[in-house]
DNA sequence: ATAAACCTTTGAGTTAAGTCACAGGTCAAG
DNA sequence: CTTGACCTGTGACTTAACTCAAAGGTTTAT
């Protein structure tokens, strides 16, 4: 049996995180000591590691709660159920990737068009691009590489 | 001069968003009517569009505040200052991309290893991977493509 | 003149995943 | 027997970017 600080240290998380997971229905200690201290079993530790691994591949706590509810009753759940959760998350991640990739492309274009020199920003192509309607950025900078 | 609702509608945002931007030092209307209504000028509208475009390439409001402070005093700022903001954001975006890509890789590997069938999840490779220490996922699923 | 649509301010709620502060109880060592 | 490390519960705070509610004043149209 681990006390809260022992388990937290072993898994490199904060004691409060463990209390937080308990409050949010992810992991409750199997026992309490006479004086009310939380006592976690090996099995509890395994569940915690499950949670941390799931976090490590991008699952939110709400999603992990779903995974856990399947975990504890594998017999009455199908592979399909598990895979569905993974595939939904994958879609989610890919949508975020798509948005970030758009940001990256735009930012790169902005950065590349700007000379980055020490003279006045009065004609900086980045500011011009943000001021104007066009989403296209002119790659000719009238003081490009010059200043 | 636009009243708040007119400008909001023209730019497809919520009235409250405009009030929020004002409270947060991003955009204050140039005028008020006798009865206290906000009155936005064409110039104000352009600043709002600047803000929305900057949001569109991924900048946070705090970052946009910095961009705006350069915008209003271009003469005393250099291209370098602007480019620095863009490059910092680019780095930021690329770090987030890296993390999401790691998630994507892991999730794909998990998904690919699971048969997704309708039989019991008792031996689902996804759950096994999350239960076990190994970050490697065995691609042999003892009921892979079978069930 | 009255209803509808619009505006004002203030302040609270939302989401996610914790983190921290407080006041006090418990346990082991010396 | 006292110190220090640990534990308890409750509840407030954090970040970001809004969004909504309430109570009331203004404008416009009919
Ligand atoms: Zn330049
Ligand atoms: Zn520039
Ligand atoms: Zn299967
Ligand atoms: Zn499976």
pLDDT of A137 above 60:
no
In a domain, B65, yes or no: no
In a domain, A49, yes or no: yes
Alpha carbon of B113 to ligand 3 centroid (Å): 9
- Residue B131 domain boundaries: 70-147
Residues B54 and B86 in one domain: no
DSSP state of B37: -
Residues A133 and A74 in one domain: yes
pLDDT of A107 above 60:
yes
Q: What is the pLDDT of residue B135?
A: 56
Residues B30 and B80 in one domain: no
pLDDT of A55 above 70:
yes
Contacts of A121 in chain B (CB under 8 A): 70, 74-75, 77-79, 81-82
Residues B138 and B79 in one domain: yes
Mean pLDDT of B84-97: 97
If one counts the domains in chain B, the total is: 2
Q: Which nucleotide is nearest to A16 (CA to C1')?
A: C19
Cα of A4 to nearest chain B Cα, Å: 21
**For the domain that residue A96 is a member of, what is the CATH number?**
1.10.1660
**For the domain that residue B22 is a member of, what is the CATH number?**
1.10.1660.10
- The answer to whether A11 contacts chain B (CB < 8 Å) is no
In a domain, B64, yes or no: no
Cα of A120 to nearest chain B Cα, Å: 4
Among residues A36, A59, A82, which one ends one of the domains? A59
Q: Which residues numbered 70-89 in A keep a CB inside 8 Å of some CB on B? A: 70-71, 74-84, 86-87, 89
Kindly report, residue by residue over B66-82, the tens digit of the pLDDT: 999 999 999 999 999 99
pLDDT of A144 above 60:
no
* Out of A81, A119, A130, closest to residue B53 by CB: A130
CB burial class (10 A; 0-12, 13-18, 19+) of residue A146?
exposed
pLDDT of A147 above 70:
no
Alpha carbon of B5 to ligand 1 centroid (Å): 38
pLDDT of A26 above 50:
yes
Contacts of B111 in chain A (CB under 8 A): 83, 86-87, 90
- The answer to whether B127 contacts chain A (CB < 8 Å) is yes
pLDDT of A97 above 60:
yes
* Out of B71, B86, B100, closest to residue A100 by CB: B100
pLDDT of B142 above 50:
no
Residues A75 and A123 in one domain: yes
In a domain, A135, yes or no: yes
């Amino acid at each position: 049996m681990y006390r809260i600080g022992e388990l937290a240290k072993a898994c490199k998380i904060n004691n409060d995180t463990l209390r937080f997971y308990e409050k949010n229905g992810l992991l409750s200690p199997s026992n309490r000591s006479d004086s009310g201290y939380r006592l976690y079993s090996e099995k509890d530790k395994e569940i915690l590691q499950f949670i941390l691994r799931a976090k490590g591949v991008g699952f939110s706590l709400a999603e992990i709660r779903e995974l856990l509810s399947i975990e504890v009753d594998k017999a009455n759940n199908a592979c399909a159920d598990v895979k569905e959760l993974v595939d939904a998350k994958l879609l989610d991640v890919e949508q975020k990737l798509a948005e970030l990739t758009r940001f990256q492309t735009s930012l790169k274009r902005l950065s590349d068009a700007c000379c980055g020199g020490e003279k006045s920003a009065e004609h900086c192509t980045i500011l011009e691009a943000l001021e104007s309607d066009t989403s296209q950025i002119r790659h000719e900078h009238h003081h490009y590489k010059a200043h």
